[in-house]
A and B are shown apart, each in its own frame.
Chain A
């Protein structure tokens, strides 16, 4: 097997006496800043999950453990090869020394140790880059001879080493020491970088997510039956979660780590809903809803279904680019299509196609079948002539007619919505003030804020932050998002400042009246409940006095014909029926049904009628027999939870409509309200989740990809 290719880097951190003192009082010492930088660097390397190997040399260490020191007796003192090249770990950060030493080491010698380690310390690995990151203030000058230094410099060039110097910005001309001059020379020769701690930390401000490579999907772009151009499509943009592949495990009660003795088993069973028996998955077929019916669909019916044919990318036609709006685009991700690698003819044809489409302002619409038999999808192929030297077609899915929701919106052309030029101009002023392309002054490299595809995602950054934080602080609660992340939610200060004036103008021009949300809360329900008798009368009075038109004939049967309890006036119905000789037991189920209907429908939004009926029924039951009411209320509450009408449960509580207690009627089985409540709420077990219809569709979706 070919050796794996890695990016190699060895950090040389100066921990000697020369870095122990802070330049000014109340400022951090070079050592502290250097240590912070190195731990940030290691953390970023870990989080990026790239092919990185990292080594660490402590310069000015008490120890002199390095390969070169073993070979030469007197040289290479106080240089400790603390970590040999390896994949970065959290332990590397934890092991960084807390305090500077009193020794001094030779930085040039440390570089030689690093170079030697790259050359001889590790085998079987190929490096795509070899970096030496030197963190020192050069206050401890090198003792090496001029010709030795010359050899090192030449070696750097020949073996493609790169020297980065962090801590001092060597490009700063005011630094004139001999050693700095020397370092500057090596950095220049090796194409290295140099930065102050401040700049370097700014560079490491955000995490770099693991790099994902796109693999090509190869197909022929066909135009008609005979023209077939070999192309490859690559994913260019895709929305992915910050971290994938979470592993679930069981917490070990002692160590709080993942348990080694207990595991999670996930199983899927098919259960017949009628008799609750488990059914073998072979005996399960699909059924499709057609209105209320479920139509069984066996394997042999599948033969009716559409056959999409072979994998293809065939042109349907060409249309004006302006015909395809943002709303027409659908589906995830954007692909770039290039001619097949190595096929000059195809490259020429695609290039010609891209240029022609670009000139004509057209896009191609294509039918794509990802793999034989997959659902065909329609895509738009749009010409891209990119600054990144991409000349290609970009491909995004367009919608099918079934996907259009046909929404309607209220008209906006009404007179009261008309706005004057003056008002529009006020917004134009705001637009000028809040121009994000001029968000920063000239001291910044780029004056644009929130550059497209160059801004980091706050959500991704926070998740990565949390992981890094938890690794180093396993017992502490997760931190709040840092300020740098929260900045991504704010207009840049300069823009915010500029917007003040035009905003004030806008505020004066437009009257915006907040509408308080109508509260349909329980308090109101109770209130109405308490006063409902008067209210009802009032309403009746209102109707009679104010409404000249005859009242709507509501389908209320006259009392003489009442045979069952309706939802219109259940209490009255009940009274009439009791008078006609029925008993509470006879009528209980009707009453129950009426109440349930009233609650579930809740037409008045306040449950007024339902509550008064319940109160009435409860009173009747307290008098006669508490059992039916108690049995029902417990089941009813469960039903309410199932229907997500938890709010009504609270209303039941506040209106004291819960189970009838022993103190109210001897026959009751309940001493207090709590004695029946524990059956109500289930434990916090992971619910056995019924597989939704969605799941299958998601599966299909993946199949179709």
Chain B
């Protein structure tokens, strides 16, 4: 399992994150917290399996009473599986645990569970970049008195050795949490203002919460933001969306299922000619030798002005960014109204958040800047270069709160502003130059349609149907299930939504729109091909009847003939594209006379 150099998306960070999920099963008969935790953990594990990510997970129950076969002692901690890459066996094991059969401990002891977690981290052979313990519990029953002090000291110890301890409050109703947990949380976070998390009970919500808590908090870049000379704050640039979420794929040998790698070889071929025979060389005497290619032998060129302009491999790399190391610098401010997404969006935005680890006091200055921008409705214009090899761009910082519905109080959207080179001029015809005012009645019809179809958008409401079906298909094979888990296509609206639309009224005002979209082949080009355009023009009905009556259908060209044939709903008219002209003419006579 030497996956340290795996082709992970973030290879500059050594190690992988590790999370131990600690589930309180004490008193599970009375409250459903443990069951909820169990279900949610299964879901989380499935999520990790699907993504096949390198996150290490371990699951433990505490508040239980297990007989340890090795030393005949009872233990109040049950290690369901150790800190490991999520795998199928563990998943099945976890799924098959029946909590109602779990024996209860007489009293709740927490310190042993925490100690067990430290042990699990210590035993993990893998280098971990983060170590998190995620405790799923209801904050109602504290451990017995004698265990409380040891629990506190364990928590302190763990925090000291960089183990993060997080809590999820699992309960179906509001209740008064025990003060022990508040104190525990203060110790865990080192923060006296800390607020206990709100209770949650929906497994999906818990899964998301667990996922969030266990997620790596990786920035695209940690930079200094130069607001002015000698005035810099620490910031992190983040991407809130990932671009690659397809299941991880490998090639396999069809027969043996052995993993197959595909290797791209780049080699030099020299065409050597045998000396003294250059006059009569033929194919046989030309040798094709494949030799390894040295990087220093490579050149890259572009053709401009009839010449090959040559660069070495190194020069080509330098050319991508000669502007120095990553940086972020303020250029000034502009009214926020100048920047509308419908006109200037061209690339996914990033997200800006202060970073206290570089400069203390950054958050405060960041907040003041945020407030000032909101109050004056401006965006900050900056130049940003996130990586050594990335092209610098001019960005606008637009204050935002709760992006994507996430629990993020403040931050800035980093909006990439298009350069001149990004814009394509569209030579769109000016046919509709007459600036006709649209009658209110027409607008009312349109608005009626719009209103009937209006809905409240949530960022997570659409699932990629291809990806989801793929996950389910893989899962079905992996778990040996006969049937695939059913799946709802979220990209298609409920067809009943359209029942109330007054389609006839719409059609009578705006329609009919004519033929269906032609294939791209026949798409009319902007310039030049005027002849083609004539061919796809609509057939004049009267003219057609005349020609039909005078038996002059053959004066139409093939395209027009096909168009005529397609205009009438003729059954079995699939193969007209392969017919010859006279056959088409015959068909027209057959179907129209």
Q: What class of interface size applies to chain B in its complex with A?
A: 35 or more
Residues of B within 8 A of A705 (CB): none
With contacts A294-B252, A403-B243 taken as known, whether A554 is within 8 angstroms of B122 at the C-beta atoms is yes
Complex Cα–Cα for A382 and B343 (A): 9
9-residue interface stretch from A27-35, A506-514, A574-582, A673-681? A506-514
CB pair A450 B375 closer than 8 Å:
no
Complex Cα–Cα for A538 and B123 (A): 26
- Pick from B348, B438, B464: contact of A400, CB below 8 A: B464
Let me know if A295 is at the binding interface, CB within 8 A.
yes
CB pair B263 A284 closer than 8 Å:
no
CB pair A256 B310 closer than 8 Å:
yes
Closest to B213 in A: A408
Report the minimum CB–CB distance from B374 to chain A (whole Å): 9
Closest to B2 in A: A643
With contacts A248-B299, A290-B478, A317-B454 taken as known, whether A457 is within 8 angstroms of B391 at the C-beta atoms is yes
Complex Cα–Cα for A439 and B86 (A): 57
Closest to B361 in A: A512
Report the minimum CB–CB distance from B32 to chain A (whole Å): 25
Report the minimum CB–CB distance from B190 to chain A (whole Å): 12
CB pair B339 A452 closer than 8 Å:
yes
CB pair A315 B453 closer than 8 Å:
yes
Let me know if B37 is at the binding interface, CB within 8 A.
no
Let me know if A2 is at the binding interface, CB within 8 A.
yes
Residues of B within 8 A of A320 (CB): 456-457
Residues of A within 8 A of B302 (CB): 243, 245-247, 467
Residues of A within 8 A of B93 (CB): none
Let me know if B550 is at the binding interface, CB within 8 A.
no
- Pick from A262, A340, A406: contact of B271, CB below 8 A: A262
Let me know if B157 is at the binding interface, CB within 8 A.
yes
CB pair A453 B470 closer than 8 Å:
no
> Which applies to chain A's interface (DSSP): helix, strand, loop or mixed?
mixed
Residues of B within 8 A of A166 (CB): none
Closest to A426 in B: B368
Let me know if A367 is at the binding interface, CB within 8 A.
yes
CB pair A378 B462 closer than 8 Å:
yes
CB pair A264 B268 closer than 8 Å:
yes
CB pair B228 A238 closer than 8 Å:
no
CB pair B473 A305 closer than 8 Å:
yes
CB pair B301 A247 closer than 8 Å:
yes
Residues of A within 8 A of B474 (CB): 288, 290, 295, 297
CB pair A601 B376 closer than 8 Å:
no
CB pair B431 A347 closer than 8 Å:
yes
Q: Mark B83-110, 1 if CB is under 8 A from A, else 0.
A: 0011110010000000000000000000
With contacts A246-B316, A404-B460 taken as known, whether A283 is within 8 angstroms of B446 at the C-beta atoms is no
Complex Cα–Cα for A97 and B14 (A): 61
CB pair B297 A478 closer than 8 Å:
no
Residues of A within 8 A of B70 (CB): none
With contacts A348-B510, A367-B492, A512-B362 taken as known, whether A507 is within 8 angstroms of B231 at the C-beta atoms is yes
9-residue interface stretch from B21-29, B410-418, B565-573? B410-418
CB pair B513 A89 closer than 8 Å:
no
CB pair A218 B517 closer than 8 Å:
yes
9-residue interface stretch from A6-14, A102-110, A390-398? A390-398
CB pair B252 A317 closer than 8 Å:
no
- Pick from A223, A269, A343, A363: contact of B263, CB below 8 A: A269
Residues of B within 8 A of A386 (CB): 343
Complex Cα–Cα for A188 and B415 (A): 44
Residues of B within 8 A of A394 (CB): 342-343, 345
Q: What class of interface size applies to chain A in its complex with B?
A: 35 or more
Let me know if B578 is at the binding interface, CB within 8 A.
no
Q: Mark A414-458, 1 if CB is under 8 A from B, else 0.
A: 111111000111111011101111010000000001101111111
CB pair B251 A284 closer than 8 Å:
yes
- Pick from B227, B372, B447, B466: contact of A503, CB below 8 A: B227
CB pair A396 B345 closer than 8 Å:
yes
Let me know if B240 is at the binding interface, CB within 8 A.
yes
Interface set, chain A 258-290, CB cutoff 8 A to B: 258, 261-275, 279, 283-290
Let me know if A602 is at the binding interface, CB within 8 A.
yes
Let me know if B387 is at the binding interface, CB within 8 A.
no
Q: Mark A546-573, 1 if CB is under 8 A from B, else 0.
A: 0001001111000000000000000000
Let me know if A480 is at the binding interface, CB within 8 A.
yes
Closest to B458 in A: A323
Residues of B within 8 A of A324 (CB): 341, 457
Residues of B within 8 A of A330 (CB): 241, 243, 348
Report the minimum CB–CB distance from B136 to chain A (whole Å): 17
CB pair A513 B421 closer than 8 Å:
no
CB pair A248 B300 closer than 8 Å:
yes
CB pair B450 A362 closer than 8 Å:
yes
- Pick from B320, B400, B520: contact of A218, CB below 8 A: B520
**Which of B243, B359, B457, B503 is packed against the most chain A CB atoms within 10 Å?**
B457
Complex Cα–Cα for A266 and B290 (A): 11
Complex Cα–Cα for A436 and B506 (A): 47
Complex Cα–Cα for A417 and B76 (A): 42
Report the minimum CB–CB distance from B593 to chain A (whole Å): 31
Let me know if A117 is at the binding interface, CB within 8 A.
no
Let me know if B248 is at the binding interface, CB within 8 A.
yes
Complex Cα–Cα for A84 and B261 (A): 56
Let me know if A209 is at the binding interface, CB within 8 A.
yes
Shortest beta-carbon contacts, A-B, top 4: A224-B498, A289-B52, A427-B372, A382-B342
Q: 11 additional contacts, CB 8 Å, given A288-B470, A414-B191, A427-B368? A: A227-B503, A274-B258, A323-B457, A375-B466, A389-B430, A394-B343, A426-B368, A450-B331, A453-B419, A456-B421, A555-B123
